[in-house]
Structures are given as C-alpha cells and as structure tokens.
Chains A and B, each alone.
Chain A
Amino acid sequence: MSSVQNPELSNSKGMLTDVTKCIGCERCVEACVRQNKLPREFPAKFKSDDGLSGNRFTSIVKTDAAKADLVRMVRRHCLHCIDPACLAACLVGAFKKTPDGAVEYDADMCIGCRYCMLACPFSIPRYEYNEPLPYIRKCKMNDECRAKGGKPACVSACPTGATIYGRRKDLLEVARERIKSNPDLYIDHIYGEKEFGGTSVMYLSDTPLNETLKMPTKTEFDRLRVSSLAQKSIPSMVEPWVWVTPVQFVAVSSGLGVIWLYRRKKLLANQNNQDSNPGNENKGGDHGNR
C-alpha cells in the first residue's frame, strides 16, 4: 500500500486552504459547478447539512454564529488522502490514487455498494440517491484542468487566495512559514499533514477544525479510546486483518481435515470393538435418535 514515503507520490500536488482568509463567497462552489457541468441542486432530502451532495463536490461550511464567538468559513471537499480508506475499501478497486495526488473514481467499475462512503473518515463520497442506477460522486480535484497542467477551477476562482494549489511538499513549507510569521493567529497545526496518514488537501486554521469542519481530530480519537490510531491511515490499520484471511483459509481447512481423520480413526476403533462384542447397546441408541 502507498504511504507517505511512496516515491511516486513525492511530487504529488495538493491544496492548502487557509481558513482565516476564506470569506465564504462560494466562488469556488460556482466554479466547480461550471467546470463539472453539475446540474441543479437536489431537493433537500438528498442534501446533507454540510452542503455536499451528488451534485455538489465542494461547499462552504460556516460555524454556527450562535455557538462560536469567531465565525469562520471553511471549504469542504474530498481531502484526497495519501492512503485513502475508500481505495482500500472498494471491493472492485474503482478508486485510484494518481501520481498527481488526486483520488479518482472509475464509474465504469463501481457496483454501487457504498462501502467507500462508510469507510471515508471524512464522510465525503456522495451517492445519487434519486437515480434508479446511481453512481458515487465526489471531488476529483478537477481532472480536466490538471490534465492541461493548470490549477483546479476552484483554486483559480478564489478571490482572496484562501486556497492555493501546488506540490504538497511546497505547500507544507508555505504553511509552516505562515505559522512561523504569525504565531499568534494560527494554531500550530497543519490539518492533513498527518491525519489518517496524511492528506493532499490541507488546512491551516486559527480555530479547531473539528468544530468548524466537523473533521475528526486527535481529541476525537482520544474520546473514542482509539488514540493509538490517530496518526495512522485506516488502510494501514486494518491491513493485518486482511492478511489473516488467507492464513485462516489454509489453517482452518487443514485443521478440519485433521480433526476429521482423528475422529474417523477413533470411531473406527470403537466400531471394531463393537463388532467384536455384538449386541452393544450404543449402536441401538444411535438408531433410535433418527
């Protein structure tokens, strides 16, 4: 499985969103809708609170002004994990991580089991629930623009430069630089650097992201008593269990064979004993049960 050290991904691209710069204008949403030629929004039943749906790949999440002193807007879209849970979960392998850094979905392979939706720690993949034959829909980091060597449309559209696009390595440096130059403003943490094995889309914030973005953070892990997993990607966490299965296949089947042989021998020995003493009551009892 791929990991942070995967050489193929060393030059992978990513996005960095500075939460303090976002003004919530939704230009990125508009650009995404235009670029992907997305149809009208679904009726509200198929739209979740965070605004993402089968027809919206990105959205702006706002903090509840009633609850928080600081109102912040954050872009929500696929984080394009370095070791994606959806990729490991998909039973036909419809997801792939491109060297570009994007996690792409192949609709031609999908069977519609929705396991990727269950597996995604950020709850990003969406489903076309109103279609008789539905597909998974999610942000693909704008494959068309990337193919031409350009930026994703949402990044170009951002008027304040809250979202920037570039090599993940460079973005990390930019983020560190920003934290260094303005330590009073930012929380000293780059969300996405290590979360779930690292993500290609990262966030820099002055407010905890689990409140604004409803993103699972380390506190969440601590609360759930799985803190040892906080820095690991989900695939690497469950990987050992996957390889138990082939071992189990060999072990159980051969074990059963051995048990059968052993029991057989014992039964045969018993039978021989019985044959030598005809009129044994055991045999009669056996028949009675039927």
Chain B
Amino acid sequence: MVTGRPVLEGIKTLLWIFFIAALVIGLGRFFFGLGAATNMTDQLPWGFWKVFNMVAGAALATSGFVVAAIIYIFQMEKYKSVARFSILVGFLGYGSSLVALLFDIGLPHRGWHPFFMWNPHSFLFEVFWCVSIYWFVTAFELLPLITERFPFPKFTHFIHEVMLPAVILGITLSTMHHSSLGSLFMVSPTRLHPLWYSLWIPPEFFISAMGAGLSVIVLLQIIMSWLYKQEINMKVLTGLVKGSAGFLLLYLVIKVADFTVNDKWNFVFGPDITWETYLFWVESLLQVIIPLAIFLYPKTRNSIEGLIFGTTSAFIGIVMHRLNTGIVGYFRSAESVYVPNFSELLLGLGLICGAGLVFLFLLERFYIFKEPVSHGDHHDSSDIELWSSAEAQTVFLGSRAKKVGIIAVIVIPITWFFFRDQATGPFQPIVQPVEASIIGVDPLREVLRIDGNLANEFVDFPHKKHQEAFIKEYGMIAEETCVECHHLNLPNDNASNCRLCHSDMQLKTAIFDPDAHIQHFRADPEFDIEAFMKTDLSDRRKGFEACFDCHEENMKGLAAYAVKGFDQEAPGFKDVMHGSCQTCHRQREEDRAKADDNSNCLFCHKINP
C-alpha cells in the first residue's frame, strides 16, 4: 500500500511502550481503586480521564462528522480525499475516549445501565446515548474501507446505498452531544469560575469543537502525509482551515456576546483579575486568536509552516479550554487543586497511543489516503488489491510480534513497580510515629501519643494536663495521681504481673507501705494469709488476681471489665485505656457542674491533620 519513513518504526515502538504501560495502569486501577490510580478528590470528582479523554477528546475528533457533512450533505467532491482519513480519526478518537471512560467510571460492568434506566433530565444521559450510537455510526461509515478489500462486493455496495441516512444520523447525534458535553458543566453555576461558566456553554462548545476538529484534521493530514511520503493537497487543506477559521470567528463572536450580555468583562480586563484571568488569556490566544490570525491571512494560510503553526495552536488551545472548563475552573470553589498524577497521565495518553497504533495499522493496509475510484456504477475492482493470507500472517506473526513481546516484558514490570509504589503511598497515615514504639513521648512529656493496637493510628493524650487536674481537683500529691490510671497492663500485654512494676514491695513509698499491707491482712480473720504468702507471684494470672481481689477500687477503669470474664484474661491496653477515660469522663458528665464533652470517642479519635 503505502510505505513509511524509517522514523516510523521508532514512533511505533514509543506508541507500544505507552500503550502497554497504560494497560498495566488500567489493571492496577481495578486492584487498588480510583484513589490509588488518580488524584481525584470529593471536591474535584472529574479528573484527567473524563475531561481530557472524553470532553477534549471528543472535540479533537469532531472532524469525522464535519467532513462527512461537507462531502455527503454539501456534496463538495473536492474534499473526498480527506473523507476516510477524518472519519477514521473520529472513530478512533471516540473509541479511545470510551475505553478511558471504562476505567474512569466506578462500576464499568454496569456501563449498559443507561440504555435501560432512563433519566432524560440528565445531560450525561444525552451524551451517553449520542456518543455511543455515534460511535457505531462512524464504525458503519468506515465498513466499506475494510469490506472493499474482501471479495463481497454486494455487501460493500449495500453499505454505500444506505450511507446517507447513516451520515445524517451521525451528524445529528454529533451536533447534539457536542453541545451537551458543554451543558454538562452548566449544572454548577456556583462552582465553576465565571470565565468558563455560562448558560451559553452548549453553542460555545459545539462551535469551538468544529473549529478545532478541522484544524486537527489538517495537522494530522500534514504529519501523516510526511510520514508516508504522500503528496499534500494544499487546496484541500486551505479549504479546511478556512472552514475552521469561520467556526473560530463565530466562536469569538459568541464569546464576546456572552461576556457582554452576562456582564463578565471585569474578570477579563479587571478589576477582578486572578490567576484564572491569565490562564484564560493564554487559552484564548492559543485557541482563537493565533489560529484566526494565521488562517485569515492568505499568505500564511497557504504555507505549510503557517498551517502547522496555526493548527497546533488551535489543537493546544482547545485542549486547554476543555481542561479549564472541566477541571481548573473548579479549583477556586473547591479550595483545592487537582494535578493528574503519573498513572492518570499514562493511562489517558497511553490509550490515545493505542488508538494511534490502530490508526497506523489501518493506514498502511487499507485505502485511506486515496479512496479507490468512486463507488457507484463504474466500480473498478482491479484498482483494489484484495486481502491475501500472506498479508494476514504479517499482522500477527513475524518480527513485529517479537518486538511487541520484548517491549511488554520490559515495560510491564517497570510500570507495575512505579504504580505499586504510588498506590501504596496514600494509604500511609498522615501522623507519623514519634518513635517506633507504642507510646511516643514528646520532648516535654506533656502529650503522649498512643497507638494501642499498633495500627499506626495515634491518639494524643494530654498527660500533664491530667496530672494537674488530679492534683488541683482532688488534692492529691503528685505520685498518687499515677495510680488513678496506671493500674494497667503493660502496653500490648494481656495480663501483666503486678510485680513487674511493684518490684519495690519492701520499701515504703508515698503510696505504698508494705508493713501496713501485711498488718491489714493479719487483722482480717477471714483472710488466708498463709496461702497468700505462698502465692506464686511469678505466675502471671495468679499474681494479678492476688492483688486485684482487694485493689479493684484503685483500678477504676477496670471495674467494668471485671464482669466480662476478667478472671480469664486481663483486659488489653486498649480496653483499659478506654475504660479509664470513659469511666471518669462519663462520671463527670453526670455531675453537671463539671460537665465536659470529652467522653465520646471522637474527642480523641480524630486523625489529626
């Protein structure tokens, strides 16, 4: 068919690398969720995949229906040479967008729901129906491209016969969904910045999409013609950019009228100048003003350099406009910023690369640059080289398959490694441990940072404040305050032996007098002092029980837990901690004079930013 320049092989390798990486990310999204794969938040729920791939992607792929209208409806035979090219761009552009959406929506296995569950009030419903049907219509329009190389001329002929209604349906659906893609953002008058919000969005989106679509087709035509050493038909391309300029001019007029009628010039020229204003200026310059300047002036319009420059500018401009409307315009009201992360970019762009691969594949094997002699009565089949089995073999076997295999083997682990690294990132707690221990202590020992269940979630406990409160309110001495809470197990232990802490049982301290202890036992006739003295205190449970029988009162927080099988196993650190805190604070709450609202869980268990 057509032969490409040597650089084409390198380009294809790049496309394969990005495409395979995108598939890996796509797989990862279903393992780790959208939160791991993207940077979307609750305030900015529409990210790169929706706004770039779908909203901007649809605008870039407008060429399909505009050129179809030029050729089939307005019957301008001159443009027939770009017909298949532009319809194919439309088909593949929409195809890659729809695939991206499958990764973006939360429950892609329910993608068929809108066909059966209707809500005609929704703009998205409209977009869904129009886009999905339109995609099949473009596929139908492209069928002759494939079938003409196979020996069933009757079928090909039949498709040509019913082409007109299909084209009309396709164009109608396009006009509907391009405006509806704009209306999608009309539901947020308070959230979208007024530079992009307007009740006039639908026509603005529709017209700017047509302008950009024609520019994109010219740019692609130039690039592909160069890559495949095809002759560039300047007459056709200048005709197309003239059309593009017409739409852009119309867009400019509508936009100016919109800003005047809705009184929004203050956001453009002041006094309400913010960073959005500058962004808007760059966008308008690229999207409308530069392309218009080039396309309206015959000298630049007729030169390849001028065309490349102008169409590239229009291409970047329309992407900027869509991203600004769908994402950036929401930053101010959301009070946060969304920047797509690497996996989002990779998947979004990688799917377009995949579409590019299909594009090149079809370009090389089917009649796309040149439609073989026009269909109809004088169909000359000798013009067309039929598909051979030798050609089929080159598709799936040979050096290409080997190359793709090698790329996959290299790219898959690398992508997975980086994605895995990123995916596990956000799940780490925001409060970092002070030390790798259960209780972190701040340098002043005023606040304890407790992680009872070792789950890396910390509760800040104002230790010093509690000490002071006991001293002040209950008239305790400093050492005494400890006992109010600290008759506990050791952290993360189930039945700590009392002796572990009370190793100084023979010494008299502020809170413990061993002599008084023994005398107290002797005074009680029912107490079996001999058995007590023989208790093996090194046995954890027996040691604990020996003390607890009498000292229940000292262990305020533990009382409640004595009921639930306390003889079996002492409560863990978490239970004791909760018991201690809640017992005291709930008691205080009943005493209205001292009431505070510290007794509920959430008082402590907030994840501190």
By a beta-carbon cutoff of 8 Å, the part of chain A in contact with chain B is 1, 23, 25-27, 29-30, 41, 43-49, 52-53, 85, 87-94, 109-115, 117-119, 121, 123, 125-135, 214, 216, 220-221, 224-226, 229, 234-235, 237-239, 241-242, 244-245, 248-249, 252-253, 256-257, 259-260, 263-264, 267, 286, 289-290
User: Chain B nearest CB: distance from A153 CB in Å?
Assistant: 14
Q: A114-B46, A226-B190, A286-B78 are in contact. List 18 more A-B contacts (CB 8 A).
A: A43-B427, A44-B430, A46-B35, A88-B119, A93-B117, A93-B122, A112-B105, A119-B187, A129-B40, A133-B106, A135-B106, A216-B190, A234-B189, A245-B176, A248-B176, A253-B169, A259-B74, A290-B80
User: Chain B nearest CB: distance from A40 CB in Å?
Assistant: 8
Task: Report the separation of the CA atoms of residues A66 and B488 in the bound assembly, to the nearest whole angstrom.
Answer: 40
Given contacts A92-B113, A111-B105, A237-B189, contact A134 B122 (CB under 8 A): no
Would you call B297 an interface residue if the criterion is a C-beta within 8 Å of the partner chain's C-beta atoms? no
A242: which B residues are within 8 A, CB to CB? 120-123, 126, 183
Which residue from B33, B69, B233 sits with its C-beta under 8 Å from A134?
Answer: B33
Given contacts A111-B110, A118-B45, A224-B194, contact A260 B73 (CB under 8 A): yes
B532: which A residues are within 8 A, CB to CB? none
A45: which B residues are within 8 A, CB to CB? 35, 426-427, 430
Q: Enumerate 27 A-B pairs (CB-CB under 8 Å) in ascending A order.
A: A27-B600, A43-B428, A48-B41, A49-B335, A89-B123, A91-B125, A92-B118, A111-B106, A111-B114, A113-B106, A115-B122, A118-B185, A126-B42, A127-B34, A129-B38, A129-B41, A132-B30, A133-B106, A226-B262, A241-B183, A241-B186, A244-B202, A245-B176, A245-B180, A256-B168, A259-B74, A260-B168
A267: which B residues are within 8 A, CB to CB? 75
Asked if A224 and B186 sit within 8 Å, CB to CB, the answer is no
Counting chain B CB atoms within 10 Å of each CB, the highest count among A88, A214, A248 belongs to: A248
**Which residues between 152 and 199 of chain B lie within 8 Å of chain A, taking CB atoms?**
164, 168-169, 171-172, 175-176, 179-180, 183-191, 194, 197, 199
Asked if A249 and B42 sit within 8 Å, CB to CB, the answer is no
A94: which B residues are within 8 A, CB to CB? 117
Stretch from B7-15, B396-404, B601-609 at the A interface: B601-609
User: Chain A nearest CB: distance from B194 CB in Å?
Assistant: 5
Asked if B117 and A123 sit within 8 Å, CB to CB, the answer is no
Asked if A1 and B121 sit within 8 Å, CB to CB, the answer is yes
Given contacts A26-B602, A115-B184, A226-B189, contact A260 B72 (CB under 8 A): yes
Chain B residue with the shortest CB-CB distance to A27? B600
A91: which B residues are within 8 A, CB to CB? 114, 119, 122, 124-125, 128
Given contacts A113-B124, A225-B264, A244-B202, contact A52 B42 (CB under 8 A): yes
A286: which B residues are within 8 A, CB to CB? 77-78
By a beta-carbon cutoff of 8 Å, the part of chain B in contact with chain A is 29-36, 38, 40-43, 45-46, 69, 72-75, 77-78, 80-81, 105-108, 110-111, 113-114, 117-126, 128, 164, 168-169, 171-172, 175-176, 179-180, 183-191, 194, 197, 199, 202, 233, 235-236, 262-264, 333-336, 370-371, 426-430, 597, 600-603, 607, 609
Asked if A110 and B80 sit within 8 Å, CB to CB, the answer is no
Task: Report the separation of the CA atoms of residues A118 and B191 in the bound assembly, to the nearest whole angstrom.
Answer: 9
Given contacts A114-B106, A220-B190, A289-B235, contact A44 B607 (CB under 8 A): yes
Task: Report the separation of the CA atoms of residues A234 and B186 in the bound assembly, to the nearest whole angstrom.
Answer: 9
Task: Report the separation of the CA atoms of residues A92 and B105 in the bound assembly, to the nearest whole angstrom.
Answer: 13
Asked if B114 and A25 sit within 8 Å, CB to CB, the answer is no
Asked if A133 and B123 sit within 8 Å, CB to CB, the answer is no
Asked if A113 and B105 sit within 8 Å, CB to CB, the answer is yes
Chain A residue with the shortest CB-CB distance to B129? A91
Chain B residue with the shortest CB-CB distance to A112? B106
Asked if A25 and B600 sit within 8 Å, CB to CB, the answer is yes
Asked if B124 and A115 sit within 8 Å, CB to CB, the answer is yes
Task: Report the separation of the CA atoms of residues A276 and B194 in the bound assembly, to the nearest whole angstrom.
Answer: 61
Task: Report the separation of the CA atoms of residues A226 and B601 in the bound assembly, to the nearest whole angstrom.
Answer: 43
B179: which A residues are within 8 A, CB to CB? 244, 248
Chain B residue with the shortest CB-CB distance to A56? B602
Which residue from B73, B122, B603 sits with its C-beta under 8 Å from A88?
Answer: B122
Task: Report the separation of the CA atoms of residues A161 and B462 in the bound assembly, to the nearest whole angstrom.
Answer: 30
Chain B residue with the shortest CB-CB distance to A253? B172
Asked if A117 and B106 sit within 8 Å, CB to CB, the answer is no
Asked if A53 and B80 sit within 8 Å, CB to CB, the answer is no
A133: which B residues are within 8 A, CB to CB? 106-107
Asked if A85 and B42 sit within 8 Å, CB to CB, the answer is no
Chain A residue with the shortest CB-CB distance to B332? A224
Task: Report the separation of the CA atoms of residues A277 and B269 in the bound assembly, to the nearest whole angstrom.
Answer: 61
